[in-house]
Amino acid sequence: MFPARHSCNGLSTNQLQAAFLALLPRIRMHGRVFFRHLKCPDKREDAIAEMVALSWRWFLRLVQQGKDPAQFPSTLATFAARAVQCGRRLARMERPRDVLSPRAQQRHGFQVESLPLSTRTSFENLYSVPRGQQRQDVFEERLRDNTVTPVPDQVSFRLDFPAWLQTRTYRDRRVIEDLMAGERTMDVADKHGLTAGRISQLRRDFMEDWQHFTGDFDDDCQPQA
């Protein structure tokens, strides 16, 4: 189709577009098969569109290298589909730490779903799963909760917490900072040369010490006579 070692400059835009459009049906068909696991039609079409865009970019690159993409359209489509599945996009790459990114969801094995709002949840969806109504009630209760800490409590914490930290050792303060940052128990243990059991003991000790420091403790936390 193209002379060997031919560059894009030797072909007009219309010629390049016509050559790619001849391959487009096979590329789109490959995409529909490859992304058939995507149940949402919009997400499936978005993936196919990104696949076509990547195929066009690589098509031009191959022509510049003097290769004829028409000789291996299935290979071109396969590589483009795999790239999209791994988070590759025409203009960017999916962020691996963004919870809304399909790449992050695929890598870490989770999915993001919308909360079931009572005005939108159908009767079938609500009662076709075990404890559907119970889950609905829990979601609605959480949405009604006020998650804003009262100002007096905020001021008290800002004053008490730094003062309490000064009563702990340097190592304890580092462990507390890591736990507050959300690091896993095993990761904190490895970082500070401790066992996971010891970190769990320290976590309990920190909680009881903080409750005694602020005077907010129950009968279980009171010292024995």
For 79-105, write each residue's pLDDT tens digit: 999 888 877 777 666 566 666 666 666
For 180-211, write each residue's pLDDT tens digit: 888 888 888 998 999 989 999 999 999 899 98
Task: Report which listed range, 47-61, 94-108, 142-156, is most confident.
Answer: 47-61
pLDDT above 70 covers what percent of the chain?
66
Q: What does the pLDDT read at residue 2? A: 46
Angle between helices 13-34 and 73-85 (to 10 degrees): 60
**With bands split at pLDDT 50, 70 and 90, how would you rate the model's confidence at 69?**
confident
**Do residues 96 and 87 make contact, with C-beta atoms less than 8 angstroms apart?**
yes
Question: 3-state DSSP call for residue 121?
Answer: coil
Residues 6+ apart with CB under 8 A from 15: none
Query: Residue 185 and residue 29: Cα distance in Å, rounded?
Result: 48
Nearest to 26 by CA among 82, 76, 79: 76
